[in-house]
């Protein structure tokens, strides 16, 4: 499931907004680390993911379901441009 999601993100088959929405009801997505989710996005590697998480004040161990409203909004704004 996670590998499939990562492949769809890389190829543009889904987007961050959809994944965050799906994570509310999907146990597997909800338990995925935010860093792993970011690294699955096109043009984002380990270093870039860490920089983004630091900039948006997201803990390195944070899981997708554990994101606060402010953090979700900041992530979506960051990747909407």
Can you give the CATH number for the domain in which 71 is found?
1.10.8.50
* Global pTM value: 0.89
Hey, which residues does 33 pair with through a beta bridge?
Answer: 63
Q: How far is CA 45 from the centre of its chain?
A: 12
- Print the domain residue range for 75: 2-80
Query: 7-13 long-range contacts, Cβ below 8 Å, gap at least 24?
Result: 9/37, 9/40, 9/41, 9/42, 10/40, 10/41, 10/42, 12/42
Number of domains in the chain: 1
At 37, the pLDDT band (50, 70, 90 cuts) reads very high
Q: Is the pLDDT of residue 6 over 90?
A: no
At 48, the pLDDT band (50, 70, 90 cuts) reads very high
Q: Is the pLDDT of residue 64 over 60?
A: yes
Tell me what pLDDT residue 81 has. Answer: 57
Rounded average pLDDT over 60-65: 96
Are 38 and 5 a contacting pair, CB within 8 Å?
Answer: no
């Amino acid at each position: 499931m996670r590998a499939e999601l990562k492949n769809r993100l890389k190829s543009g088959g889904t987007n961050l907004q959809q994944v965050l929405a799906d994570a509310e009801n999907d146990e597997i997505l909800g338990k995925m680390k935010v860093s792993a989710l970011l690294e699955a996005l096109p043009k984002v590697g380990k270093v870039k993911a860490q920089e983004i998480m630091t900039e948006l004040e997201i803990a390195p161990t944070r899981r997708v379901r554990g994101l606060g409203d402010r953090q979700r909004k900041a992530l979506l704004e960051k990747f909407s441009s």
